Structure 1
């Protein structure tokens, strides 16, 4: 029943599979190790560890992000080992290749043995061996051997077993002749091993083919190099482009509304390769819909595909989870971005006594150079966000105001507070458009800014939120600028300009003295209060006096409330600081109130009355003025209007290996099912002649997994074939008509 395959050169086939017979001893030992199960398991462990690293360590981020996270030394070490792109690193691909070779050799070695076992009934088992099986039984039949054999083979076939007979003549004179009935079922269990291992090989081969290995092979064979500088697509040299006939790739392309492209971008390390597509994609319109939380609910692209080879075009719609496939290339809706929206801004000075503005325009993704002759700045427009849904619950919108505005010597370590605080009940609200931009100085240092276009209501007060952060991995800190009675930022900006105007401060101090002291106050008292009020306002404005002994500023803070707090701590004894702080608070509030009246009067506004609305604005304005000393930008860019241009991000993939991977996945399912749910069972019956014309029968059964179901099956088969229900039947046990026990 078994076949003997023809041996291949340098190998031989045995029941153990293919074995290498020629070659050096070291070579044979290497092949033996490479095809062993322990070697494959060791490689699997390494692949698992690498996968953990690739999961824990965010892949494909800009190198500067890793420097900020790990420091220059470890960032460079991780870069040498390509841990930022684990799954496309040379060592990971090498390990995966060895794993495929090892599994393939293991499969080649063991498949012949499995095939041989499938064809073998093991009918040569001896009687002595059968009596040592766990599951066995005996019976004596009154019928002859031929009738008993016919009965037993019929029972086995009726239960789905394949049967093979072996006639055994009398071994010696006087011994009885016998017939061995060998039956088996569930042989596909062993096939599951072959299917599972073949599936693993197919999945790995398909993954390797569709991965970066083919791209790297082309780079090595044809001298392709990643592009590491920004330039127009039309200017990119051929050395940075792959062939349009590239068999496998996965890249991205971004197309604005009304635009078209036939060039995908493939990220390779710290550079990119351009992949020409065999067709052109024209984006007619990008559509997006949002949930109430501000998260995108649906985004889709209406496109027109044009094939330049035949000039044919056809419209299509690409949605998330509904890709388009043409000419072997699958186009996925990956995301969306800004396609170059136009921004219209008003620039307010944040330093000095001027409140003059100038208009500024730009597009997202571009930059503008600004200069006043003494200082040069570069404004880089990063993003326009039309929808900004934030948690506006009371617990989330608390500001950084001190509980008691008179005790301003505490809590000054929080400048430009965070937008949210402690968690609480969520109240999501869209607070309007915002613009994100960077301001870079002449040395190349940049801060990123996040300014909302409209005032946001926090704690019952409308404020303009101006976010700032010094690095991309830091959170935004927000300057809260109160909106005036016209819901504009103009009132506070004029107040700020007046604070930095020495003449306006002197006038405010004089008006405060006049409003505070009675008309008959002495000239000396007026002079003392004038000096104190002027000094208080100057320190708050950042005009810090120098220490006459050292010649250095008496405080380290640049201005605002922290500077006044440090001045009190340095100039007033500790036991009198609380009393002095109360005096300074009254003087500061009084002089700043007069300064605000002056700024309003200079712009044709009526004096503010001391009602709740004006007092709330004033308190918030003072805190915002104090925080401006920690706002690093010399300009505040207020977005006045915008013209949004959407862009769709597509992922394009040519992955012929996916058919191989899918085939492997199907084989893996079948293989695992066969190994787990199909049990191989083998049964033997040894039927001997008796002198009285009857026959003696010995039964034995084995399986690769002894389960409760297997034991029940044995009992059923034994009862059906031998007519006994226990290994040691009693005289009262039932027996078939033609059998006796």
Structure 2
């Protein structure tokens, strides 16, 4: 009858089973690979842009954005820790017995049946055989014990017991690594969230306004966060990313960034950067200065201060707001990056949010040979323009004109959402590299009186051929002028698309092609007339080919203004750069524990794979003839092929030493 085992015994067997451990290790390995490929703890909008809304929410539900703090991952680590611990507890007594047990009471039948076994006879006495056998085994590095029973003598030898220690060190090393990982995990923070004593902050507010429930004290056991400190400023906090929010971690000292230095390659790419920092700590008699750089952190009070990156620290910029429509006025604004400013106009209020300043911008540019190369196109300012309804559009405006196919343009990138690709407005630059001529031309197109005056002159010059016909020339002239003014106004506000929409709304489909051709001729005549008058104001009476290329580029830019979304072209005029050092500060009490576990695991694996446990038995049995039969047997737990050669050599050594006289 089969006896049922207790449930507790079956549960312990399951938790300590090899199958469970392997399954958990495979899951941990796959999860770790995902965590390596997928960059962790990035801003959630970045993930949404990269994956789209559906996959963003799906991956978020699995906790893949902070995988090593996910509940399911920590549970797997916990089960793996429990399984390995049970396995070690169950097998350690057996390993210890194995290391102490020489099996000196082995039976003759068992020795003869072993795969590696030989026997021979000798006339030497038993005592001499034992002494020579022990001497040979000692020379081979074996430990041995002897046993005598019923006239039969056995020398049992063993070496390579470190192989068993390899099993123990491997498993204990894994346990130590798991414990170290859990020490550096976010379990205390997760528990605080669960009980309601900790709540991540999701608002973009100054650190001084973050409520206490979103702050962690200086005695927090472990943390990893970052902070950007401008030159000449100090900070005693870091920010810990938590899903779509953050926590403020207080530090037991203050960090001052005395100076920040960055070296660049000729292309403008950063080569190296470092910070001169000063630690202000009440426990110090005087502040402590140190220089940190990439891969060379400062270790202080159990925390590691790394040079992680760099960014803008509130650079001062002067901006000129050039109106793109006649309702708005030109403005000059001096402000600092990361600050917001209210803008007023005649029709609507706007808020300018200065986001970033870049001294270098490396973009692919075609050289004189038509080959694409990386080139620094100079400083840029990134900002958002938010209207009264709260809708914001992001702009990236470059300070210097860029030469494209031999012509200069002032470039402004625009996107209405972080998920949208960036589109660019190319404003043609005049000979001085400014937008003055373009803005004057645009302003003239929006000036009804200027356009009307030009239209009258253009119309009268083109009507000389019909003056002798019986036609009311005044009526025709008035119709042409009004048509020019209306089309020019429409183009200046809505571009070519606006004119096509007007044609589609006013004329049947079968007449649209003919009307479009006629409107295009009238509009072209009006635009050219206005442009020529503007050139005359700038002292140009005989336009060159370059002037007409500028005219074409201006029309393209004006036609694209409807998507631009800003009533101003905001141009960066001057700047005073202030850089900020990006520091990552970690407190990892489990780090040394993990290192210890890795050393144990490495040594254990080496012992398991490269050290073999070998056993040798030498049995001496007296015969009736007065001789003694010697039985030599051996075994190993790994590398049997190598042991074949070893046993042959060892057997030959025994036969030589013990003076073989036959078999």
- When normalised by structure 1's length, the TM-score is 0.81
Indicate if the aligned counterparts of 1:505 and 1:538 stay in contact, CA closer than 8 A: no
Matches for 1:178-217 after TM superposition, within 5 Å: 178-217=152-191
Q: Which residue of 1 aligns with 2:389?
A: 443
Match of 1:641 among 565, 570, 574: 574
Q: Identify the structure with the greater helix proportion.
A: 2
Counterpart of 2:496 (choices 561, 580, 596) is 561
CA deviations on 1:6-30 (whole Å, 9 max, x unpaired) are xxxxxxxxxxxxxxxxxx9323322
Aligned residue for 2:337?
364
Q: Name the counterpart of 2:96.
A: 115
After TM superposition, the structure 1 stretch with the greater mean CA deviation from structure 2, 379-388 or 27-36, is 27-36
Aligned residue in 2 for 1:318: 292
Matched, 1:289 2:235: no
Q: Cα RMSD over matched residues?
A: 3.3
Deviation at 1:497, TM superposition (A): 1.9
* Match in the other structure for 2:564: 631
Secondary structure of residue in 2 paired with 1:51: helix
Deviation at residue 167 of structure 1 after TM alignment:
2.0
State the secondary structure of the residue aligned to 2:268.
coil
Within 5 A, what are the aligned runs for 1:452-531? Answer: 452-514=398-460
Q: In the TM superposition, what is the alpha-carbon distance from 1:677 to its structure 2 partner? A: 1.3
Q: How far is the alpha carbon of 1:385 from its aligned partner?
A: 0.5
**Residue by residue, what CA displacement relative to the aligned partner does 1:127-171 show, whole Å, maximum 9, x if unpaired?**
3333443333333334233333333332222122222222232xx
Select the residue among 38, 41, 44 that pairs with 2:22: 41
Tell me by how many angstroms 1:428 deviates.
1.6
Q: Partners in 2 of 1:100 and 1:84 — Cα distance?
A: 24
- Where does residue 90 of structure 1 map in the other structure? 71
Change (3 A) 1:567 1:278: closer
Counterparts of 1:133 and 1:522, CA distance in 2: 130
Q: Is the 8 A contact 1:214 1:248 kept in 2?
A: no
Distance 2:353 2:369 in 1: 30
Structure 2 SS opposite 1:615: helix
Partner SS, residue 543 of structure 2: coil
Q: Which residue of 2 aligns with 1:255?
A: 229
Deviations 1:9-57 (A, max 9, x none): xxxxxxxxxxxxxxx9323322222222222223223333433444455
Most deviating of 307-316 and 52-61: 52-61
Superposed, 1:208-357 pairs within 5 Å as: 208-217=182-191, 223-352=197-326, 356-357=329-330
Residue pair 1:148, 1:695 contacting (<8 A) in 2 also = no
Does the Cα contact within 8 Å between 2:488 and 2:527 map onto a contact in 1? no
CA contact (8 A) 2:154 2:620 kept: yes
Confirm or deny: 8 A CA contact 1:438 1:449 kept in the other structure: yes
Alpha-carbon offset, residue 208 of structure 1? 1.0
| Aligned position for 2:533 | 598
Gaps in structure 2 of 5+ consecutive residues: none
3-state SS of paired residue (1:280): strand
- 1:233, distance to aligned residue in structure 2 (A): 3.9
Shift of 1:665: 1.2
8 A contact 2:459–2:480 mirrored in 1: no
Alpha-carbon distance in 2 for matches of 1:347, 1:58: 39
Task: Give the Cα separation in 2 of the matches to 1:293 and 1:132.
Answer: 77
| Cα deviation, residue 121, structure 1 | 2.0
SS of the residue corresponding to residue 33 of structure 1 reads helix
- The aligned residue for residue 99 of structure 1 is 80
Partner of 1:376: 349
Shift, 1:248, TM fit: 2.1
| Structure-1 separation of matches of 2:643 and 2:490 | 90
- Cα deviation digits, residues 692-731 of structure 1 (max 9, x gap): 33332333332222354333323322222235xxxxxxxx
Residue 677 (structure 1) aligns with: 610
**Shift in Å at residue 531 of structure 1?**
5.4
Distance of 1:495 and 1:131 partners within structure 2 = 109
Task: Measure the CA separation in 2 of the matches of 1:680 and 1:331.
Answer: 47
Provide Cα deviations, 1:464-495, integer angstroms capped at 9, x if missing partner: 11000122133311111111111101111121
> Distance in 2 between the 1:299 and 1:611 partners?
49
Assess if the C-alpha contact under 8 Å between 1:505 and 1:534 holds in 2. Answer: no
For the 8 Å contact 2:308–2:584, the answer to whether it is kept is yes
- Rounded Cα–Cα distance in structure 2 between residues aligned with 1:395 and 1:565: 38
Q: Who is 1:611 aligned against?
A: 544
Structure 2 equivalent of residue 5 of structure 1: none
Once the two structures are TM-superposed, the CA of residue 624 in structure 1 deviates from its matched residue by: 1.2
- Answer whether contact 2:503 2:516 (CA < 8 A) is retained: yes
Q: Distance in 1 between matches of 2:461 and 2:41?
A: 65
The superposition leaves residues 168-216 of structure 1 with CA deviations (integer Å, 9 ceiling, x where unpaired) of 32xxxxxxx4322322222211211111111111111111111212334
Over residues 227-260 of structure 1, what are the superposed CA-to-partner deviations in whole Å (9 max), with x where a residue is unaligned?
3444444444443332223332222222111111
* Residues 525 and 396 of structure 1: CA distance in aligned 2, closer, same or farther (over 3 Å): farther
- More displaced, 316-325 or 213-222? 213-222
Query: How far apart, CA to CA, are the structure 2 residues paired with 1:606 and 1:594?
Result: 15
Structure 2 vs 1, CA of residues 543 and 637 (structure 1 numbering), >3 Å: closer, same or farther? closer
CA distance in 2, matches of 1:590, 1:443: 40
Pick from 130, 139, 143: which aligns with 2:111? 130
Q: Which runs of 5+ in 1 are unaligned?
A: 1-23, 170-176, 398-424, 545-557, 724-734
Question: Could you tell me whether the CA contact under 8 Å between 1:540 and 1:559 is conserved in 2?
Answer: no
Residues 583-633 of structure 1: CA deviation (Å, up to 9, x unaligned):
7666554432222122344xx412353323212222211211111122122
- CA gap of 1:105–1:522, structure 2 versus 1, over 3 A, is farther
1:696 lines up with 2:629 in the alignment: yes
Specify the SS of the correspondent of 1:599: helix
* SS of corresponding position for 2:592: helix
3-state secondary structure, aligned to 2:419: coil
Deviates more, 1:515-524 or 1:358-367: 515-524
- What SS class does the counterpart of residue 381 from structure 1 fall into? strand
How far 1:436 moved relative to its partner? 0.3
Deviation, 1:390, is: 1.2
Secondary structure of 1:340's counterpart equals coil
C-alpha distance 522-366 of structure 1, shift in aligned 2 (>3 A) = farther
Aligned-residue offset at 1:284: 1.1
**How far is 1:66 from its partner?**
4.8
**Count of residues in Structure 1 that have an aligned counterpart in Structure 2:** 656
Shift of 1:450: 0.3
SS, match of residue 244 in structure 1:
coil
- The secondary structure found in structure 2 opposite 1:252 is strand
Match for residue 415 of structure 1?
none
Structure 1 position 145 matched with structure 2 position 78: no
State how far apart, in whole Å, the 2-side matches of 1:25 and 1:60 are: 46
Matches within 5 A, 1:412-451: 426-451=372-397
Measure, in 1, the Cα distance between the counterparts of 2:148 and 2:118. 21
Secondary structure in structure 2 of the residue aligned to 1:215: helix
Secondary structure at the counterpart of residue 201 of structure 2:
coil
